[in-house]
Chains A and B, each alone.
Chain A
Amino acid sequence: AQSVTQPDIHITVSEGASLELRCNYSYGATPYLFWYVQSPGQGLQLLLKYFSGDTLVQGIKGFEAEFKRSQSSFNLRKPSVHWSDAAEYFCAVTPLNKFYFGSGTKLNVKP
Protein backbone atom coordinates (compact mmCIF):
# COMPACT_ATOMS: atom_id res chain seq x y z
CA ALA A 1 0.00 0.00 0.00
CA GLN A 2 1.12 3.51 -0.71
CA SER A 3 2.16 5.66 2.26
CA VAL A 4 3.88 8.91 3.02
CA THR A 5 5.89 9.50 6.19
CA GLN A 6 6.85 12.86 7.59
CA PRO A 7 8.84 11.90 10.70
CA ASP A 8 8.98 15.38 12.23
CA ILE A 9 5.69 16.56 13.70
CA HIS A 10 7.03 19.92 14.90
CA ILE A 11 10.18 21.81 13.96
CA THR A 12 11.37 25.14 15.36
CA VAL A 13 14.04 27.16 13.60
CA SER A 14 15.36 30.66 14.07
CA GLU A 15 14.64 33.26 11.43
CA GLY A 16 17.48 33.26 8.91
CA ALA A 17 18.49 29.69 9.66
CA SER A 18 18.30 26.90 7.09
CA LEU A 19 15.47 24.39 7.01
CA GLU A 20 15.04 20.79 5.91
CA LEU A 21 11.74 18.93 6.20
CA ARG A 22 11.84 15.20 5.65
CA CYS A 23 9.49 13.08 3.55
CA ASN A 24 9.68 9.37 2.75
CA TYR A 25 7.23 7.47 0.60
CA SER A 26 6.41 3.87 -0.03
CA TYR A 27 5.31 2.94 -3.52
CA GLY A 28 6.29 0.34 -6.08
CA ALA A 29 7.32 2.84 -8.72
CA THR A 30 8.31 6.49 -8.70
CA PRO A 31 5.14 8.48 -8.17
CA TYR A 32 4.63 12.15 -8.76
CA LEU A 33 5.79 14.04 -5.65
CA PHE A 34 4.58 17.31 -4.19
CA TRP A 35 5.03 19.66 -1.27
CA TYR A 36 2.12 21.81 -0.13
CA VAL A 37 1.93 24.46 2.59
CA GLN A 38 -1.11 25.23 4.73
CA SER A 39 -1.54 28.33 6.85
CA PRO A 40 -4.02 28.17 9.76
CA GLY A 41 -7.61 27.91 8.55
CA GLN A 42 -6.54 27.87 4.92
CA GLY A 43 -6.41 25.40 2.09
CA LEU A 44 -3.24 23.94 0.66
CA GLN A 45 -0.91 25.90 -1.59
CA LEU A 46 1.44 24.08 -3.95
CA LEU A 47 5.11 24.81 -3.25
CA LEU A 48 6.74 22.52 -5.80
CA LYS A 49 6.42 19.25 -7.68
CA TYR A 50 8.56 16.49 -9.12
CA PHE A 51 7.44 14.46 -12.11
CA SER A 52 10.69 13.34 -13.74
CA GLY A 53 14.09 14.59 -14.86
CA ASP A 54 16.32 16.77 -12.70
CA THR A 55 16.07 15.51 -9.15
CA LEU A 56 16.51 18.97 -7.62
CA VAL A 57 13.38 21.03 -8.15
CA GLN A 58 12.79 24.67 -7.41
CA GLY A 59 9.53 26.01 -6.08
CA ILE A 60 7.93 29.20 -4.92
CA LYS A 61 9.00 31.31 -1.92
CA GLY A 62 12.63 30.14 -2.22
CA PHE A 63 11.93 26.47 -1.47
CA GLU A 64 13.58 23.55 -3.19
CA ALA A 65 13.32 19.79 -2.86
CA GLU A 66 15.53 16.89 -3.82
CA PHE A 67 14.24 13.52 -4.97
CA LYS A 68 16.42 10.57 -3.98
CA ARG A 69 15.18 7.35 -5.54
CA SER A 70 17.51 5.12 -3.53
CA GLN A 71 16.13 6.51 -0.27
CA SER A 72 12.51 6.97 -1.43
CA SER A 73 12.79 10.50 -0.11
CA PHE A 74 11.71 13.94 -1.23
CA ASN A 75 13.03 16.40 1.36
CA LEU A 76 12.12 20.08 1.31
CA ARG A 77 14.78 22.71 1.96
CA LYS A 78 15.13 26.45 2.30
CA PRO A 79 18.48 28.20 2.88
CA SER A 80 17.12 31.06 5.00
CA VAL A 81 13.76 30.90 6.75
CA HIS A 82 11.51 33.95 7.09
CA TRP A 83 8.95 34.48 9.86
CA SER A 84 6.20 34.25 7.23
CA ASP A 85 7.21 30.63 6.53
CA ALA A 86 5.61 29.51 9.80
CA ALA A 87 2.88 27.09 8.68
CA GLU A 88 2.22 23.39 8.25
CA TYR A 89 3.90 21.56 5.41
CA PHE A 90 2.57 18.45 3.72
CA CYS A 91 4.32 16.03 1.42
CA ALA A 92 2.10 14.21 -1.06
CA VAL A 93 2.47 11.46 -3.64
CA THR A 94 0.10 10.67 -6.44
CA PRO A 95 0.13 7.39 -8.23
CA LEU A 96 -2.80 7.25 -10.61
CA ASN A 97 -4.72 10.42 -9.75
CA LYS A 98 -5.17 9.66 -6.05
CA PHE A 99 -3.22 11.87 -3.69
CA TYR A 100 -1.72 10.44 -0.50
CA PHE A 101 -0.60 12.99 2.08
CA GLY A 102 1.76 12.74 4.99
CA SER A 103 0.58 13.80 8.42
CA GLY A 104 2.37 17.12 8.13
CA THR A 105 5.21 19.01 9.79
CA LYS A 106 4.36 22.17 11.71
CA LEU A 107 7.08 24.79 11.37
CA ASN A 108 7.60 27.44 14.03
CA VAL A 109 10.00 30.32 13.37
CA LYS A 110 11.74 32.03 16.28
CA PRO A 111 12.56 35.73 15.88
Chain B
Amino acid sequence: DAGVTQSPTHLIKTRGQQVTLRCSPKSGHDTVSWYQQALGQGPQFIFQYYEEEERQRGNFPDRFSGHQFPNYSSELNVNALLLGDSALYLCASSASGGRSDKNIQYFGAGTRLSVL
Protein backbone atom coordinates (compact mmCIF):
# COMPACT_ATOMS: atom_id res chain seq x y z
CA ASP B 1 0.00 0.00 0.00
CA ALA B 2 1.69 3.16 -1.21
CA GLY B 3 1.70 6.05 1.19
CA VAL B 4 1.48 9.69 0.22
CA THR B 5 3.68 10.42 -2.78
CA GLN B 6 4.89 13.82 -3.90
CA SER B 7 6.67 14.98 -7.03
CA PRO B 8 9.12 16.31 -7.81
CA THR B 9 11.43 15.85 -4.82
CA HIS B 10 13.47 18.94 -5.60
CA LEU B 11 12.84 21.99 -7.72
CA ILE B 12 14.80 25.13 -8.50
CA LYS B 13 13.02 28.19 -9.87
CA THR B 14 13.79 31.88 -10.28
CA ARG B 15 11.85 34.81 -8.91
CA GLY B 16 8.66 35.58 -10.80
CA GLN B 17 8.26 32.09 -12.21
CA GLN B 18 5.37 29.76 -11.54
CA VAL B 19 5.58 26.26 -10.08
CA THR B 20 3.27 23.23 -9.79
CA LEU B 21 3.74 20.55 -7.16
CA ARG B 22 1.90 17.25 -7.20
CA CYS B 23 0.57 14.88 -4.57
CA SER B 24 -1.07 11.47 -4.63
CA PRO B 25 -2.86 10.57 -1.41
CA LYS B 26 -2.65 7.35 0.52
CA SER B 27 -4.99 4.67 -0.79
CA GLY B 28 -8.51 5.15 0.55
CA HIS B 29 -7.97 8.79 1.49
CA ASP B 30 -10.09 11.54 -0.05
CA THR B 31 -8.79 14.70 1.64
CA VAL B 32 -5.51 16.44 0.85
CA SER B 33 -3.84 19.22 2.81
CA TRP B 34 -0.79 21.27 1.86
CA TYR B 35 1.80 22.77 4.20
CA GLN B 36 4.80 25.03 3.82
CA GLN B 37 7.77 24.30 6.07
CA ALA B 38 10.46 26.97 6.06
CA LEU B 39 13.91 26.03 7.29
CA GLY B 40 13.93 25.61 11.06
CA GLN B 41 10.17 26.06 11.38
CA GLY B 42 7.14 23.89 11.86
CA PRO B 43 4.79 23.25 8.94
CA GLN B 44 2.31 26.03 8.19
CA PHE B 45 -1.13 25.11 6.85
CA ILE B 46 -1.78 26.40 3.32
CA PHE B 47 -5.12 24.83 2.40
CA GLN B 48 -7.12 21.64 2.33
CA TYR B 49 -9.07 20.03 -0.52
CA TYR B 50 -12.04 17.72 -0.22
CA GLU B 51 -14.46 16.70 -2.99
CA GLU B 52 -12.44 18.83 -5.43
CA GLU B 53 -13.16 21.99 -3.45
CA GLU B 54 -10.96 24.09 -1.20
CA ARG B 55 -12.43 23.45 2.23
CA GLN B 56 -10.15 25.48 4.46
CA ARG B 57 -7.34 27.94 3.90
CA GLY B 58 -4.52 29.23 6.03
CA ASN B 59 -2.97 32.68 5.97
CA PHE B 60 -1.40 32.51 2.50
CA PRO B 61 -1.82 34.95 -0.40
CA ASP B 62 -3.80 34.20 -3.54
CA ARG B 63 -0.55 33.41 -5.36
CA PHE B 64 -0.97 30.00 -3.73
CA SER B 65 -3.72 28.00 -5.39
CA GLY B 66 -4.60 24.38 -5.69
CA HIS B 67 -6.67 21.76 -7.33
CA GLN B 68 -7.99 18.33 -6.51
CA PHE B 69 -8.80 15.81 -9.20
CA PRO B 70 -11.55 13.16 -9.24
CA ASN B 71 -8.99 10.50 -8.25
CA TYR B 72 -8.23 12.63 -5.12
CA SER B 73 -4.74 13.60 -6.23
CA SER B 74 -3.89 17.25 -5.86
CA GLU B 75 -1.71 20.04 -7.18
CA LEU B 76 -0.31 23.10 -5.47
CA ASN B 77 0.42 26.06 -7.73
CA VAL B 78 2.46 29.07 -6.73
CA ASN B 79 2.60 32.09 -9.04
CA ALA B 80 5.04 35.01 -9.11
CA LEU B 81 7.56 33.21 -6.94
CA LEU B 82 9.39 35.17 -4.26
CA LEU B 83 12.65 34.30 -2.55
CA GLY B 84 10.64 33.75 0.63
CA ASP B 85 8.71 30.92 -1.02
CA SER B 86 11.79 28.72 -0.71
CA ALA B 87 10.71 25.91 1.61
CA LEU B 88 9.78 22.26 1.93
CA TYR B 89 6.21 21.78 0.75
CA LEU B 90 4.44 18.90 2.42
CA CYS B 91 1.30 17.16 1.33
CA ALA B 92 -0.82 15.22 3.80
CA SER B 93 -3.80 13.00 3.16
CA SER B 94 -6.59 11.90 5.43
CA ALA B 95 -9.90 10.09 5.28
CA SER B 96 -13.36 11.48 5.83
CA GLY B 97 -16.48 9.66 6.93
CA GLY B 98 -16.64 6.90 9.50
CA ARG B 99 -13.14 5.51 9.18
CA SER B 100 -11.21 4.86 12.38
CA ASP B 101 -8.26 6.91 11.08
CA LYS B 102 -10.36 9.95 10.31
CA ASN B 103 -8.65 13.11 11.61
CA ILE B 104 -5.18 11.58 11.21
CA GLN B 105 -3.00 13.15 8.54
CA TYR B 106 -0.31 11.11 6.81
CA PHE B 107 2.51 13.06 5.23
CA GLY B 108 4.57 12.65 2.11
CA ALA B 109 8.32 13.26 2.01
CA GLY B 110 7.81 16.71 0.54
CA THR B 111 9.06 18.80 -2.36
CA ARG B 112 12.04 21.03 -1.66
CA LEU B 113 11.55 24.30 -3.60
CA SER B 114 14.45 26.69 -3.99
CA VAL B 115 13.75 30.13 -5.45
CA LEU B 116 16.82 31.98 -6.75
A interface with B by C-beta (< 8 Å): 4, 32, 34, 36, 41-46, 49, 51, 90, 94, 96-104
Contact = CB atoms under 8 A, between A and B. Distances in A.
Given A46-B106, A98-B48, A99-B105, 9 more contacts: A32-B103, A41-B109, A43-B107, A51-B103, A97-B55, A99-B43, A100-B45, A101-B35, A101-B43
Given A42-B109, A43-B90, A101-B43, A94 B58 contact: no
Interface in B26-44: 31, 33, 35, 40-44
Contact of B56 (A44, A97, A103): A97
B45 A103 contact: no
B104 A101 contact: no
A104 B88 CA distance: 15
Nearest to B58: A98
A98 B56 contact: yes
A99 B45 contact: yes
Given A90-B42, A100-B45, A101-B43, A43 B110 contact: yes
Contacts, number: 57
The 10 A-B residue pairs whose C-beta atoms are closest, nearest first, are A101-B42, A43-B107, A44-B107, A43-B109, A103-B42, A101-B43, A104-B42, A98-B56, A43-B108, A43-B110
Contacts of B104: 34, 46, 49
A44 to B, nearest CB: 4
28 contacts: A32-B103, A34-B104, A41-B109, A42-B109, A43-B4, A43-B90, A43-B109, A44-B43, A44-B90, A44-B107, A45-B107, A46-B105, A49-B104, A51-B103, A90-B42, A90-B43, A94-B103, A98-B45, A98-B58, A99-B33, A99-B35, A99-B43, A99-B92, A99-B105, A101-B42, A101-B44, A102-B42, A104-B42
